[in-house]
């Protein structure tokens, strides 16, 4: 495997960062997770735009233009001869000293890893995911902006730990007010009487790229959509529930806090959306090998 670091490619054992990198010392940095399918990168521009927005929000200057970043990303996939896989793109504050101020970090570091994707087991796609509500709340925007895809993921990781200790596949995270924000690494949707609802981004969700793709699919299929605050009640009493994210794509969720959602099986609206989603991922995107 060849990994991009600051303009050069390194074999995996030699792909290393400084122990003084503030990405490591303080979680000071941002990232993206991006999929490529069938020789095409899915929604590459949208992911890169979100990366540059995250950078702006944390006052981080990325030393490449968006076009240069796009080329570096494509070249990393080419160097690894892959057609299907996953990209992890990181921009850290770079090397500094032991003080937390980024003033001593002269240049941000860019790391791009292209790898095969580790998917959820096929059984989860057939049967759907079991979820619990986490006691760990989504970080409030007053403390850490949830729209920034930062390297500071401890909030979500603690929620993930809760979910897995409870024997569930995913955890539902609430915001400070107790409204549903999202899951630990996925956005959440419910279906009720044929209409699709997802929490608004201001409820504490990341503005997921696949969330946007699914809203577009619903419009195309004539399925009504709403972005509305939701409580656990709305999930307990939904006909269907599904999650979206780069790793999971679109996956049904069939239980929350021991209550089956609908009949406890992946529902027909979810299935229609999954079918359309798969067709779009296979047929659109930025060509890697031109
Ligand atoms: N919410 C959060 C908190 C995320 O981290 C999503 C929603 C979905 O966004 P996209 O743009 O991917 O549709 C994410 C992204 C993993 C993993 O291994 C998942 C993400 C990030 C890093 C790792 O499951 N999810």
Active-site residue set: 149
Specify whether the CB–CB gap between 111 and 17 falls below 8 A: yes
Distance, CA of 7 to CA of 90 (rounded, Å): 13
On the question of a common fold for 2-115 and 122-282, the answer reads no
Taking residue 140's Cβ as centre, other Cβ atoms within 10 Å add up to: 13
Q: Look at residue 290 in the predicted model and tell me its pLDDT.
A: 85
**Residue to mutate, 44, 151, 170, 185, ligand 1, most ligand atoms under 8 Å from C-beta:** 185
In this prediction the pTM is 0.96
In degrees to the nearest 10, what's the CA dihedral of 93, 137, 213, 79?
30
| CB 186 less than 6 A from any atom of ligand 1 | yes
**Residue length, the chain?**
290
Domain covering 122-282 in this structure, CATH number: 3.20.10.10
Q: Look at residue 18 in the predicted model and tell me its pLDDT.
A: 97
Q: Look at residue 233 in the predicted model and tell me its pLDDT.
A: 98
In degrees to the nearest 10, what's the CA dihedral of 213, 202, 111, 285?
10
**Residue to mutate, 86, 148, 186, ligand 1, most ligand atoms under 8 Å from C-beta:** 186
Closest CA to 190 of 242, 232, 260: 242
| CB 92 less than 6 A from any atom of ligand 1 | no
| CB 247 less than 6 A from any atom of ligand 1 | yes
Locate the domains of the chain by residue range: 2-115, 122-282
Q: Look at residue 93 in the predicted model and tell me its pLDDT.
A: 98
- Report the topology of domain 2-115: D-amino Acid Aminotransferase; Chain A, domain 1 (3.30.470)
In angstroms, the Cα distances linking 18 to 101, 122, 139 are 17, 38, 29
Residue spans of the chain under pLDDT 70:
none
Q: Look at residue 164 in the predicted model and tell me its pLDDT.
A: 97
């Amino acid at each position: 495997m060849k990994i991009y670091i600051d303009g050069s490619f390194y074999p995996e054992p030699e792909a290393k960062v400084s122990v003084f990198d503030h990405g490591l010392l303080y979680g000071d940095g941002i990232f993206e997770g991006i999929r490529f399918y069938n020789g095409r990168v899915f929604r590459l521009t949208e992911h890169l735009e979100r990366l540059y927005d995250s950078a702006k929000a944390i006052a981080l200057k990325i030393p490449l233009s968006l076009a240069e970043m796009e080329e570096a990303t494509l070249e990393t996939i080419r160097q690894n001869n892959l057609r299907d896989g996953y990209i992890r793109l990181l921009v850290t504050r770079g090397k500094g000293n032991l003080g937390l101020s980024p003033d001593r970090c002269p240049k941000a570091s860019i790391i791009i890893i292209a790898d095969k994707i580790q998917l959820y087991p096929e059984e989860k796609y057939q049967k759907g995911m079991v979820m619990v509500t986490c006691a760990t709340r989504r970080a409030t925007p007053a403390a850490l902006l949830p729209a920034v895809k930062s390297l500071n993921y401890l909030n979500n990781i603690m929620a993930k730990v809760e979910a897995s200790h409870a024997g569930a596949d995913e955890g539902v995270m609430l915001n400070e007010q107790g409204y549903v924000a999202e899951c630990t690494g996925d956005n959440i949707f419910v279906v009720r009487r044929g209409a699709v609802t997802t929490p608004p981004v201001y409820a504490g969700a990341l503005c997921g790229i696949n969330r946007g793709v699914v809203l577009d699919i619903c419009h195309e299929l004539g399925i009504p959509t709403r972005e509305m605050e939701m409580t656990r009640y709305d999930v307990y009493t939904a006909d269907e529930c599904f999650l979206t994210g780069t790793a999971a794509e679109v996956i049904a969720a069939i239980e929350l806090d021991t209550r089956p959602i609908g009949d406890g099986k992946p529902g027909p609206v979810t299935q229609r959306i999954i079918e359309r989603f798969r067709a779009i991922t296979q047929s659109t995107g930025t060509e890697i090998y031109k």
